[in-house]
Structure 1
Amino acid sequence: MNRIQKQRLAWRCAFFALFVLAPPLDLLRLDLTQGHFILFGQPWTLGVREASDNVQAVLNLALRAFLPLLSLVGFGLWLSWRYGRLYCGWLCPHFSVVELINALMRRASGKPTLWQREPLPEHQLDGTTIHPRRSLWLLVAVSVSAFSLLWAITLLSYLLPPAEIWAGLLQARLSPNQALFIGVATLLLMIEFTLARHLFCRYGCAVGLFQSLVWMANPRALVVGFDRRRAALCRHCDASCEHACPMRLQPRRIKRHMFACTQCQQCVQACERVCSRHNEPGLLRMLQGPCALDVSVRDFGHRPPTPPDCFPDAVKTGEH
């Protein structure tokens, strides 16, 4: 695990903990019993009822609802425009579970998903060695069940007082509606974590699709670049970069085919490891600006020249 992947792991763990702990700590939740949000322990209302006149009501609504919402959407647009699905790959608590279940399922069956046609190589050129063991299916089942239950409880705690939910669970006195919500949500999440996972991320997640659409509109946004001038080095590779991708993408293809890329950079790490066996720099690299055009506009019939500094390590070795 290189420095980037260690940073990703730290960010994902921290955000997952924040996702679970935000309601109990009253950092952020919508309390349906009180009819308003709780933000950092304080009630967040629209201020319409408390307003002395219509002007004050409109001002409160603008400052407490529209301004925060527009700021959040604006920041999301800017982030997606420049970096694509950065939230998905570096923060999203759902994608963190996706990666974990993928890894466990591969150790149990040799395939990261049930829909993978053939098992991945047990020995890869990037140094990954995994010998599947059927006994690990039990760990897969336990992990899927545990994370589904945790997600269901957490989602409900964003809507109802967390103390009431957790006390009801520990003392087995949940209301019928609370028990029904947790039961149905857990079942649906178990089905999704078992069968869909990355497919949901690619085709069903509105947040992910929003990021991808904005990202696709910017040809200079951050992308996985491929050093085509040294493509011959791929001839004897086992496609370790593709095996590393949690979204089951092919990183050497054009941007349109990388629509669901989460910027996790696992493919870049895999390529670096393979090439290092031959004392060569990796063929994959995160690029943006003019360097990204080779990936983003190539599928429209253009062949933009790649600036020589896009792959500086390759230049140093004399490949260019």
Structure 2
Amino acid sequence: MNRIQKQRLAWRTGFFLLFILAPVLDLFRFELEQNHFYFLTFPWTLGIDAFRNGEISAMEMALNMGLRFFLPLGVVISLGIFISWKWGRLYCGWLCPHFSVVETINHVMRKASGKLSIWDRETLPEHQADGTHVPVEKKWWWLTGLIILGFSFIWAVVLLTYLLPPKEIYANLWHGDLTRNQALFIGVATLLFVIEFTLARHLFCRFGCVIGLAQSLIWMGNKKALVVGFDRARSAQCSECDASCEHACPMRLKPRSIKRKMFTCTQCMQCVEACEKVHEDDPRPPLLHMLSDQCALDVSLRDFGLKPEIPSDCFPPLVEASGKKAE
């Protein structure tokens, strides 16, 4: 694991813990019984009830709506658009708690079946050119099932704490005293998550998640956004490899392809790390790099026969053993 992947693991872990603890600490949740949000431990109301009771004027109500609803919503949307425009689905690859589950299940499912999804037709090689060694053993199916069930239960409980008082939910769980509706919500939600995590987690990330889909659409609109670039001038060198970069992609994409076919790339950069490992003992530089600005056009515009001119320094020069640039 290189430095970037260690940083990504730290960000993902931290955000997953925040996802669980946010309602407990009243950092962010919706109080269903009181019909208002909590934000940073404070009640976040729009003053609708106060306006109905004549406690505040129409002007104060309009000010509340502007400052507490439209302004925060506009800031969040604007920030999301800016990040997606420049870097793509950065939230998905670096923060999203659902994608953390996807990657974890991918890891254990590969050990159990040699595949990242039960729908994959071909198994991945146990030994790869990037040094990955994943022997397939059926005993891992037990752990895979437990992890899927565990994450599904956690997600169901946490989602409920975003709607009802967390202390009440966790106390009822601890004492085995959930109300009928609470037990029904957790039971049904757990079952749905088990189905989704087992059968459709990649499909959900690609087409079912509104946040992810919006990021992809915005990213596709910027031809100079950050993207995985492939040094096509040395494409013949790929014949020496076993597609380790494709096997490393948790979304099962082909990183040497054009941008349109990497629509759901989460910018996790694991394909780039795999390519770097393949060339670890090779004097030649890796063929995959993260590119942006003018360099990104080679991936973004290489569609329908287009071959855009890109700067000559987008990829590291090929160096001979003597240390001189190859002609």
Structure 1 and Structure 2 fold alike (TM over 0.5): yes
User: What is the DSSP-based 3-state SS (H/G/I as helix, E as strand, rest coil) of the residue aligned with 1:299?
Assistant: coil
For the residues of structure 2 that align with 1:14 and 1:314, how far apart are their CA atoms?
Answer: 39
2:145 maps to 1:141: yes
Q: Which moved more, 1:297-306 or 1:282-291?
A: 297-306
Aligned residue number for residue 37 of structure 2: 37
Aligned residue number for residue 113 of structure 1: 117
Q: 1:240 aligns with which of 234, 240, 244?
A: 244
The superposition leaves residues 288-307 of structure 1 with CA deviations (integer Å, 9 ceiling, x where unpaired) of: 00000000011143211221
Q: 1:157 aligns with which of 137, 156, 161?
A: 161
Q: Which moved more, 1:297-306 or 1:236-245?
A: 297-306
Aligned residue number for residue 318 of structure 1: 325
The superposition leaves residues 76-128 of structure 1 with CA deviations (integer Å, 9 ceiling, x where unpaired) of: 11111111100000000000000000000001111111011111001100000
- The question of whether the paired residues in 2 share the 8 Å contact of 1:230 and 1:319 is answered with no
Map 1:221-260; keep pairs closer than 5 Å. 221-260=225-264
2:171 maps to 1:167: yes
TM (normalized to structure 1)? 0.97
The superposition leaves residues 34-59 of structure 1 with CA deviations (integer Å, 9 ceiling, x where unpaired) of: 11101111100013444532122111
The superposition leaves residues 145-200 of structure 1 with CA deviations (integer Å, 9 ceiling, x where unpaired) of: 00000000000000000000001111111111110000000000001111111121
Amino acid corresponding to residue 209 of structure 1 in structure 2: L
Gaps of 5+ in 1: none
TM (normalized to structure 2)? 0.95
For the residues of structure 1 that align with 2:187 and 2:133, how far apart are their CA atoms?
Answer: 38
Q: Say if 1:172 and 1:317 are closer, same or farther in 2 by CA, change over 3 A.
A: farther
Aligned residue number for residue 271 of structure 2: 267
Q: Say if 1:306 and 1:314 are closer, same or farther in 2 by CA, change over 3 A.
A: farther
- The question of whether the paired residues in 2 share the 8 Å contact of 1:271 and 1:282 is answered with yes
Aligned residue number for residue 8 of structure 2: 8
For the residues of structure 1 that align with 2:324 and 2:110, how far apart are their CA atoms?
Answer: 36
2:30 maps to 1:25: no
Q: Say if 1:317 and 1:306 are closer, same or farther in 2 by CA, change over 3 A.
A: farther
Amino acid corresponding to residue 270 of structure 2 in structure 1: Q
Q: CA deviation at 1:279?
A: 2.2
Q: Say if 1:47 and 1:300 are closer, same or farther in 2 by CA, change over 3 A.
A: farther
User: What is the DSSP-based 3-state SS (H/G/I as helix, E as strand, rest coil) of the residue aligned with 2:290?
Assistant: strand
Q: Say if 1:56 and 1:5 are closer, same or farther in 2 by CA, change over 3 A.
A: same
Q: CA deviation at 1:227?
A: 0.6
Q: CA deviation at 1:312?
A: 3.0
Aligned residue number for residue 179 of structure 1: 183
- Aligned residue pair count: 320
User: What is the DSSP-based 3-state SS (H/G/I as helix, E as strand, rest coil) of the residue aligned with 1:115?
Assistant: coil
For the residues of structure 1 that align with 2:317 and 2:33, how far apart are their CA atoms?
Answer: 59
Q: 1:211 aligns with which of 210, 215, 222?
A: 215
For the residues of structure 2 that align with 1:89 and 1:318, how far apart are their CA atoms?
Answer: 36
User: What is the DSSP-based 3-state SS (H/G/I as helix, E as strand, rest coil) of the residue aligned with 1:235?
Assistant: helix
For the residues of structure 2 that align with 1:70 and 1:162, how far apart are their CA atoms?
Answer: 28
Q: Say if 1:159 and 1:319 are closer, same or farther in 2 by CA, change over 3 A.
A: farther
- The question of whether the paired residues in 2 share the 8 Å contact of 1:48 and 1:58 is answered with no
Q: 1:297 aligns with which of 301, 304, 316?
A: 301
